[in-house]
Amino acid sequence: MFKNTFLKTIYDFRLSIFYWGMFFAFLLLFIAGAYNEVIVGADSANVLAGYKKLANMPGYPGGGAPDADTFGGFITFRMLGGVPLILGIFGVLAGSLIIRGEEDKGSLDLILSTPHSRTMVLLQKWAGMAVAIGAVVLINWLALILGLLIANQQLGFADMFLAHLNIWLTCLVFGSLALLLGQITISRRAAAGWAGGVLAATYLLDSLASSLRGLEWLRYLSPFYYYSLSKPLAPSVGTHWGALVVLAGISAVAVVVAVWFYNHRDHNNVYPLFFNRPKPLALQPQTRPTSLGLRGPFWFGLRSALPGTLIWGLPISLYLGLSIYSIDGVRGELTSLLKSELYRSQGFLPVPSDANLVSLSLALNLVVFTAYAVVQVVGWTSEESEGRLELILSTPQPRWRLLLTRYLVNLLASAITCITVGTIFSLIALLVGVKLDFSYILASFFGLWVVCAVIMAAGFALSAIRPGRSIALISGGLVVFFFVDSLGGILKLPDWFINLSVYRAYGKPLMGGVDWTPQFVMLGLSAVFVTIAVYFFRRRDIVK
Amino acid sequence: MSTISTNQSQPRVGQNENAKGFAIYTEKLSKSYGTARGISEVDLQVREGEIFGFLGPNGAGKTTTIRLLLNLIFPTGGRATVNGLDSQRDSVEIKKQIGYLPGEFSLYPGLTGAQTLQYFSSLRGGVDWNYVLELAGRLELDMSKKFRQYSRGNKQKVGIIQALMHRPRLLILDEPTSGLDPLNQQEFYKLLQEARQKGSTVFFSSHIMSEVEKTCDRVAIIREGRLVRVGGLDELMGIKTQQLELTFAGTAPFAEIAALAGVSHLEKFMEGSHEALSCVAQSEALDSLLKVATNHHPINIATREPSLEEIFLQYYSNGN
ipTM entry:
0.76
Contacts of B155 in chain A (CB under 8 A): none
Whether A292 contacts chain B with CB within 8 A: no
Give percent of chain A with pLDDT exceeding 90: 46
Whether B154 contacts chain A with CB within 8 A: no
Quote the minimal CA–CA distance from B150 to chain A in Å: 11
As a whole number, the mean pLDDT across chain A is: 88
pLDDT of A211 above 70: no
The pLDDT of A207-220, averaged and rounded, is 76
Whether B139 contacts chain A with CB within 8 A: no
Contacts of B67 in chain A (CB under 8 A): 390, 542, 544
- Round to whole Å and give the CA distance between A18 and A173: 21
Report residue A58's pLDDT band, with 50, 70 and 90 as the boundaries.
low
**Any bridge partners for residue B77, and if so which?**
B30
- Round to whole Å and give the CA distance between A395 and A277: 40
The pLDDT of A409-417, averaged and rounded, is 96
pTM (two decimals)? 0.77
Query: Crossing angle for the helix pair A83-96 and A188-209, nearest 10 degrees?
Result: 160
The pLDDT of A183-204, averaged and rounded, is 86
Contact criterion met (CB below 8 Å) for A153 and A67: no
- Round to whole Å and give the CA distance between B153 and A268: 16
Contact criterion met (CB below 8 Å) for A273 and A184: yes
pLDDT at A444: 93
- Specify whether the backbone of B29 is left (phi greater than 0), alpha (psi in -120 to 50) or beta: beta
Quote the minimal CA–CA distance from A303 to chain B in Å: 12
Contact criterion met (CB below 8 Å) for A28 and A19: no
Quote the minimal CA–CA distance from A392 to chain B in Å: 8
Contact criterion met (CB below 8 Å) for A23 and A138: no
- Round to whole Å and give the CA distance between B133 and B148: 20
Quote the minimal CA–CA distance from A104 to chain B in Å: 7
Whether B118 contacts chain A with CB within 8 A: yes
Per residue in A496-527, pLDDT (tens digit) is 999 999 999 999 898 888 889 999 999 999 99
The pLDDT of A391-418, averaged and rounded, is 95
- Round to whole Å and give the CA distance between B13 and A536: 27
- Round to whole Å and give the CA distance between A499 and A485: 8
pLDDT of A89 above 50: yes
pLDDT at B318: 56
- Round to whole Å and give the CA distance between B113 and B136: 10
Output B296 or A362, whichever has higher pLDDT: B296
Integer angstrom CA distances of residue A360 from A340, A502, A504, B197? 12, 17, 14, 71
> In this complex, do B114 and A289 lie within 8 Å of one another by their Cβ atoms?
yes
The residues of chain B scoring below 50 in pLDDT are: 1-3, 5-11, 13-14, 320
Residues, chain A, total?
544
Whether A42 contacts chain B with CB within 8 A: no
pLDDT at B1: 41
Whether B33 contacts chain A with CB within 8 A: no
Report residue A126's pLDDT band, with 50, 70 and 90 as the boundaries.
very high
The pLDDT of A122-150, averaged and rounded, is 95
Report residue A231's pLDDT band, with 50, 70 and 90 as the boundaries.
very high
Quote the minimal CA–CA distance from A388 to chain B in Å: 6
Residues, chain B, total?
320
Per residue in B208-261, pLDDT (tens digit) is 777 888 889 999 989 889 998 888 877 766 555 778 899 999 899 999 999 998
Among candidate residues A163, A158, A156, A140, the one with its CA nearest the CA of residue A29:
A140
Gyration radius (Cα) of chain B, Å: 24
Contacts of A297 in chain B (CB under 8 A): 123
Quote the minimal CA–CA distance from A536 to chain B in Å: 12
Whether B114 contacts chain A with CB within 8 A: yes
What does DSSP assign to residue B164?
H
- Round to whole Å and give the CA distance between A256 and A254: 6
Specify the DSSP element, H or E, that contains A495: helix A495-498
Identity (one letter) of the amino acid at A412?
L
> In this complex, do A284 and B72 lie within 8 Å of one another by their Cβ atoms?
no
Give the nearest chain B residue to A300 (CA atoms): B119
Whether B126 contacts chain A with CB within 8 A: no
Contacts of A396 in chain B (CB under 8 A): 92-93, 95-96, 123-125
Q: Which of A307-311, A448-452, A458-462, B239-243 has the lowest mean pLDDT?
A: B239-243
pLDDT at A43: 72
Q: Residues with Cβ < 8 Å from A259, sequence gap 6 or more?
A: A118, A119, A122, A123
Exposure letters A86-98 (e unless 16+ CB within 10 A, then b): ebbbbbbbbbbbb
> In this complex, do B70 and A394 lie within 8 Å of one another by their Cβ atoms?
yes
> In this complex, do B105 and A297 lie within 8 Å of one another by their Cβ atoms?
no
- Round to whole Å and give the CA distance between B129 and B127: 6
Give the nearest chain A residue to B113 (CA atoms): A285
